[in-house]
Amino acid sequence: MLKDTDEFKDSTAKEFMPYGVGFITFWLDRQGPELLLSILRGEGDSSISHRPPAAVWFSFGDYRPYLKLIREHGAPGTRIIVQVQTVDEALAAQQDKVDVVVLQGTEAGGHGSQKAGPLINFIPEAKAALQNTLVSNPDAGLGMPALLAAGGISTAAQFKAAQALGADGVVIGTGFMPTFESPGPQRAKERLLQTSDGGLNTVKTRIFDELREFCWPEGFDGRVVRNVVTDREDEDHQRDHWRHEGEAAFKVLREDRTGTKQDWIKATAEQDYNILPLWSGTGVGLLKKQTSVAEFMDQLLDERA
């Protein structure tokens, strides 16, 4: 990789460098397009980013205002990747001629759409719809974007299943989190490895963004390992707090339970994942031992599985 990078440095043509940048799109909206423009111009803050990136990734929001910027200021080969959660969004991305569409299912760890469905349906339905567009509009100048599946994938068998359903590849987040190289705290990694039955013991919630007062737009939540906070949220649902009290229910949680500033600071200092969010997909139950990234990749690509 370093050798390649040096070769890129010596080149005088406007070529991309072998790195990618990802944006939470609504966050980029808040920061302004200058940030993206400076990266495309090679003025990013990393030592390898003095040329445009090989790929730009957008999730969660309207990426369309930025496409022109990338096409005008990126390198000719800079790929555009868009993560979507519905078939309609996949179709829109095809119309926008993006290179790669990431189909994010409800299984995915971290943030996603509250309305996302399971990959077992989403992949084949999105693929069929995209292919159908090409057949119905042969003269529209559209192509088939590469399709990547994201959500709950930890093993070679799941990887193959995603390909069998129509994906060209997969995106994995949670699977890398307990690896030795991952920068997260060891205590978090151990808790992930101890979590079994990932469909049951993870849950999608907005509660942590509310507690952190970290403003995600309506319609998005995040999948985490169940803990005291999500159990209390469940209890509140059962008691109909939410229906009757709406926003006030969050206030109750903030003030009376985990959300006081002191509690939050204590939980952070103690790395107490009974209170802190541990973002994780449903595939967490299949992660049984800590490995290196290379070992994780080897098992993922194991042809015998």
User: Using CB under 6 A, which of 78, 85, 113, 174 touches ligand FMN?
Assistant: 174
Least distance from C-beta 142 to ligand FMN, angstroms?
A: 24
Distance from the first to the final alpha carbon of the chain: 29
Beta carbon nearer to ligand FMN, 149 or 249:
149
According to CB under 6 A, which one of 49, 78, 104, 258 is a site residue for ligand FMN?
104
Query: Contacting ligand FMN (CB under 6 A), which of 126, 153, 188, 192?
Result: 153
Between CA 183 and CA 168 the distance in angstroms is 28
| Least distance between ligand FMN and beta carbon 182 (Å) | 9
Kindly state whether residue 169 participates in binding ligand FMN, applying the rule CB under 6 A.
Answer: no
Instruction: Give the rounded distance of the alpha carbon of 268 from its chain centre.
Output: 23
d(CA 69, CA 75): 11
Q: Under a CB-based contact definition with an 8 Å cutoff, are residues 46 and 52 in contact? A: no
Reference 148, options 105, 181, 189; nearest CA is 105
For the chain, give me the number of helices (H) and strands (E)? 15, 9
Quote the least distance from Cβ 58 to ligand FMN, whole Å: 8
93 binds ligand FMN (CB under 6 A): no
| Binding positions for ligand FMN, 51-90, rule CB under 6 A | 59, 83
Q: At 65, give phi and psi (nearest 5°).
A: -60, -15
Contacts with ligand FMN by CB under 6 A lie at 22, 24, 59, 83, 104, 107-110, 150-153, 171-175, 279, 281, 283
